[in-house]
Amino acid sequence: MITDATTNLDVTANQIDVSAKQNITLKAGRSHRSVIQSDINLKADNNLTITAPAGSQIIQSQGNITIKGSGSGNLTLANGGSEISIDSSGNVNIFADKLLTLKGKAMTVFDGSMEQDIGGKQSATMPSVPQIQALSENARLSLAADGIATMASSTIELSYTYQDGSPIMGAPYTIRFANGTELTGNLDDSGKAKIENAPPGQYTVQYGEDKRDYLPEDNRPKNPLYGQITPARAAEMVRSGNTAPLIEANGIATQAGDWLWGTLQGDFNQNPSTSQIVVGTLISMIPIIDQVMDLRDITANVMLLTDDDEANDTNSWLAFTLTGIGLVPVVGSAVKGVGKVILKNTGESLSAALAVLRKLGKGDPVKYLRDINWQDLGKQSATEVKNIVKGLRDSLDDMSTSWHYDLLLPDAAIEGMQATVKRLDDVTPKIDQHMQQAAQEIGQRVNKALDEYQGQSPIRGVTDKPTKAKADELEPPKGNELPGAAIKRMPQHKVACFKKNDKGTVQEYDRQLEGQMTGLNNMSVKEYLDNRDAFKKIGRKGTGKAQKKAREDFKNELILKYEEKLINSGEYFGDEAIKQAKQLASKDMKTLHALHNPDMIAGGLDEVVELGDASVNQSIGAQWNNNGFDDNGMKTTSSRVEIMDIEAKKALSTLGPDAKLNMNLHRCK
C-alpha cells in the first residue's frame, strides 16, 4: 500500500529496513533523489530493468565508467532493432537494422586480419532485444490530515501536435495498459485529451491522423523570371551586354548542383554565351524556383529514353513520371515526395511517406492517398511534361535555325541543338501512354503500402503526468537519382588565384575566368589529359585558323551593327555609312582577342567560342605556366597547369576516364 499525505512525510533513523513478501513500489510526483556517501549495490536474482518512457538516462562520472559482465552471459546494448553484443567468449557482434556508420580518421586492426565481403547482401542474425515489461502500480490511497484515507483517481493528459506546434485536430487514439485495458477516443481541436479515472501506471498510446482533409501547403518561392526570357530576348541581352537577367537565371540553375544536363551540357556549355541563352530560356519556363531540379531531370531523362536500349525501361519511365507529377500545381510536390519514398524503400516505407506529407501540409495523409485518382494524375503530369518538352524543343529549334543566332553560336552548338530537337521529337509521342502506365504502377505500389500499414508507433506514457508528442515529419527526398543523370566529378581543386592586370576591368576578368572554368569543368579527366599531351607535343603549331575565322565573323557582325546604327541616326548613308562602320569595327577589333575556353595551354581545343578584352586574355594566359600562391599565402612548388595535371591523373586512377573535372578558377582578392 502506498500512502500520499497532503503534507511532508519525514522519516529519520540510524538504520531503516523495508521488507515486503511481494512488491515494493516507490513513486514520486516529480523526482526521486538518492544521495549515497559510499556505494550503491543493486542485486536482482532475475532481470534488472530501468525504464525511462519519456527520455534518456544520463550517467556522469568524474572518473571512468565501466560496464562489465560476469562472463557467464552476453552483455548487450540494444535499441530500435539494432544491437551491440559481447558474448561470454569475448566476441563482439554489431547488428544494424538499417544504416551502420563507422567514422574516424583511420581504422587500425591489431594482431589479426580483416575480412570484407561486400559482393552482395549479407544475412545476419536479428538481435534478441530484451522486452521491458511495464511496471504495474498499486492502487493509491490519499491520506488526509484528519487520517481518513480515500482511493485516489489517476488522470491521463494527452497532447499531439505537428513539429511547428500546431495541433493535430480530432485524431483518434488508443490507450493500452499492461493488464490489457484499452481506452479509445478522439483528441479535441487543440490536439489534446484528458481522461479521468484511468487505471494507474504506465501505458502506451497510438494515434491516428488529423480529422481534417489533407491540404498541401506550397510555400516555395516563385520564379521572378517566369515567362520573361525568350531565346530572342536572351540573344539580344548577350549582344547588348545587358546580361543581368541571364546571370540571375544561372544563379537559379546552380540549385541543380553542377547543372548536369546530360548530353545538353556537352553541346552547349563550351560556349558561355550559348549557355546563357539556353539556361535563361529554360529557367524562364518554370513558375517555381524549386522546379529547377525537375527541369534538369526531365532534360536528362529525355536523353536516356531516346536511347534504343533504354526507351522502354520501366524504372526510367517511373522516375520520369514522378518528375512530371512534381510539376502538377498544388498537389504535385507532395505526391512526388510520397512516390519517391515508396519506390526507393521497402518495409515500413509508408510511415516515411506519411511523414513527408505532414512536412508539406496538414490533414489526414492516409485518406488523401486513398482518394488520389492516379489515372487522372497521370494525364495531368503528362500534360505538364509535354509543355516543358515543347518549350525546350521550340526554343532550341528557333536558336539552331534562325539567322539571328548564327554569329553568336558556333557550329558545334547548333549541331548539338538540332540533335536534341530530334530526340525531343522522338520522345514526345511516347509521353502520354508511358506516363499514364507509370502513374498507375506508382498508384498500385502506394495502395499496397496503405493496405499493409499498421499505424504509427505507440508512444509510452504514465498516468498523472502529461504525455506530449509530435508527429514525425521528413523533408522530401531531393533529386530523382535518374539513370544517366548523375555524372561523376573529381574532388574540387582550387587553382592558385589569378592576379588581375591593371588595364582590364574586374567584370571582364571575372567573366573570362568563369568562361574558362565552365569549359574546363565540362571536360572529362581523359579529355583534359589528352589535350594537354597534344599541346605539349605541338604547342600552337598549325593552329590559328579558328581564331582568324572567329575574328572575321565578329568583325563583319560589328560592321553590320555600326552601319545600321549610323543609318538610323541619319549621320551617314550608302557607301559612306559602310566606310565609317568598317573604321569603327577595326578600332574595336584592336582591343579584342579570340577566346578559347579554356586556353589551349590548359587543355582547350583550337575552337574559338567568343572574343574578349585582349589585355585580360593575355594576363590569364601568361599565368597558367607560372607558380601561384595558395590560400595560406605560400608559393606553390609547381605551376598552375602542372598541379592541375596531377589532380586530373589522381581522378583518372580513382574515378575513371569519364569523371568530370572540378577546377575552381578565381581572381586574387
pLDDT digits (tens, 9 = 90+) for 405-430: 555 566 666 777 788 888 888 888 99
pTM for the model stands at: 0.52
The count of C-alpha atoms lying within 13 angstroms of the C-alpha of 529, restricted to the half-sphere facing its C-beta, is 19
198 pLDDT more than 80 = yes
Contact of 271 with 609, CB cutoff 8 Å: yes
Question: Which pLDDT band holds residue 256 (cuts at 50, 70, 90)?
Answer: low
- pLDDT for res 68: 74
Contact status, residue 85 vs residue 127, Cβ threshold 8 Å: yes
Question: Among 232, 221, 224, which residue's Cα sits nearest to residue 281?
Answer: 232
* pLDDT value, residue 77: 82
Q: What is the mean pLDDT of the chain?
A: 74
Q: Which pLDDT does position 78 carry in this prediction?
A: 75
Sign of the torsion formed by the C-alpha atoms of 493, 495, 497 and 503: negative
Nearest to 327 by CA among 372, 375, 381: 381
- The reported pLDDT for the residue numbered 329 is 79
Q: What is the pLDDT of residue 201?
A: 85
Q: Per-residue pLDDT tens for 463-487? A: 989 999 999 888 876 654 444 344 5
| Between 41 and 438, residue with greater pLDDT | 438
Residue 393 pLDDT level (bands cut at 50, 70, 90): confident
Write down the pLDDT at residue 362: 93
Assess whether pLDDT exceeds 90 at residue 621. Answer: no
In the chain, pLDDT over 90 holds for what percent of residues? 17
Instruction: Report, as an integer, the average pLDDT of 183-192.
Output: 95
Task: Provide mean pLDDT across the span 480-509.
Answer: 76
- Which range is least confidently modeled, 204-213, 325-334, 474-483? 474-483
> How many residues comprise the chain?
669
Q: Which residues, 6+ apart, have CB-to-CB distance to 354 below 8 Å? A: 209, 365, 366, 472
Asked which of 266-280, 351-365, 636-650 is least confident by mean pLDDT, the reply is 266-280
Residue with the three cell numbers 532534360: 299
Domain locations in the chain as residue ranges: 140-208, 231-455, 493-664
Q: Residue 347 pLDDT more than 60?
A: no
- Output 588 or 575, whichever has higher pLDDT: 575
Q: pLDDT at position 210, please?
A: 95
Architecture of domain 140-208: Sandwich (2.60)
Examine the pLDDT at 547 and tell me if it is beyond 60: no
Average pLDDT for 573-596: 64
Q: How confident is the model over 318-343, as a mean pLDDT?
A: 82
| pLDDT (average), residues 561-571 | 70
